Amino acid sequence: LIFAIPALAALPLALYRWRPIRAGGVPLLVTALGVGACNALFAVALTFGEVGMIVLLFYLSPIWATLLERVVLGTPMARHRLLGLVLGLAGMAILQGLGGRLPLPANLAEWMGVAAGMCWAVALVATNVASASSVIDKTSLQFVSAALFGFVLVLTLDSGGAWPEPAKIGTALPWILGAAVFWIIPAMALSLWGAAKMSPARASMLLMLEVLVALASAHWWAGEPVGLNKLLGGALILSAGVVDAWGSARLDRMRLKEADAA
């Protein structure tokens, strides 16, 4: 419902702007589908799984963004990005292994967290390619996509429990509207606008502040333990982000100097 409400509001806008949306082509469509699938998978994964674990697995997305940049955009695989890949994968192995599991996601919710990160990486690369498309079109289409993906997940994963009664939905409606208007819409619009202005890998890095906020709030409000696996694995995953961001900034400075010299 949180995604469906802005989706219903966005549909007339999408119909009105069908010409620029059509001009955006496949990159715009992939951006909308990627972000929509990411949001739906991430929200459902957090409902079923452990918040800290899901968020850390989701933030392996810079690995997938780096690989996609290499394959889709032809970006050279610099040494700092190779180091970031190694650190990120080592972080996942420690995150799971020190928790007494195989060094892989342990359940459906955790796999959905990884899948959400992959979808986000796809969306970051696509929005970089579709940088000429308006953020209005990207945002409106991704809400429609998120609502559709969310509905499919509800039908697929529902355990047979009763659907909420209309009275309960009515009681929750102010919270749903508030979340949609003051949280979801601004967050997605700003994320897509900013992601189009920088490389996909760097956009993933800047969003990693969410890891620290999620771990702290999950421990404080939900009583989730912050074990050694999360501390060490999370540190490596965040280190992968720092290495990539530092290396990308260094390359940008070198390109600017070369451009000035030319």
Q: What is the secondary structure of 37-94 as a DSSP string?
A: HHHHHHHHHHHHS-HHHHHHHHTTHHHHHHHHIIIII-----HHHHHHHHHHHHHHHH
Per the CB < 8 A criterion, the answer to whether 18 and 137 are in contact is no
What mean pLDDT is predicted for residues 196-205? 67
Q: Please, what is the average pLDDT of the chain?
A: 81
* 29-68 per-position pLDDT tens digit: 888 899 899 989 998 898 888 888 898 888 887 778 778 8
Side chain identity at residue 92, one-letter code? M
pLDDT, position 106: 79
101: left (phi over 0), alpha (psi -120 to 50) or beta: beta
pLDDT, position 182: 86
What mean pLDDT is predicted for residues 7-33? 84
Judged against a pLDDT cut of 80, whether residue 78 lies above it is answered with no
pLDDT, position 99: 62
Residue 222's pLDDT band, with cuts at 50, 70 and 90, is confident
Judged against a pLDDT cut of 70, whether residue 204 lies above it is answered with no
55 or 164, higher pLDDT: 55
Residue 159's pLDDT band, with cuts at 50, 70 and 90, is low
Distance CA 101, CA 260 (A): 52
Residue 256's pLDDT band, with cuts at 50, 70 and 90, is confident
Judged against a pLDDT cut of 90, whether residue 255 lies above it is answered with no
Number of Cβ atoms within 10 Å of the Cβ of 224: 17
177 or 134, higher pLDDT: 177
3-state secondary structure of 2: coil
Judged against a pLDDT cut of 80, whether residue 253 lies above it is answered with no
What mean pLDDT is predicted for residues 211-230? 83
Residue 192's pLDDT band, with cuts at 50, 70 and 90, is confident
* 90-148 per-position pLDDT tens digit: 887 887 777 666 667 878 899 999 999 999 888 877 877 776 777 778 878 888 899 99
pLDDT, position 38: 92
DSSP state string for 234-261: HHHHHHHHHHHHHHHHHHHHHHHHHHHH
Residues comprising the chain, all counted: 262
Distance CA 244, CA 237 (A): 11
Angle formed at CA 154 by CA 148 and CA 160, multiple of 5 degrees: 155
Judged against a pLDDT cut of 80, whether residue 172 lies above it is answered with yes
What mean pLDDT is predicted for residues 18-22? 83
pLDDT, position 29: 87
Residue 201's pLDDT band, with cuts at 50, 70 and 90, is low
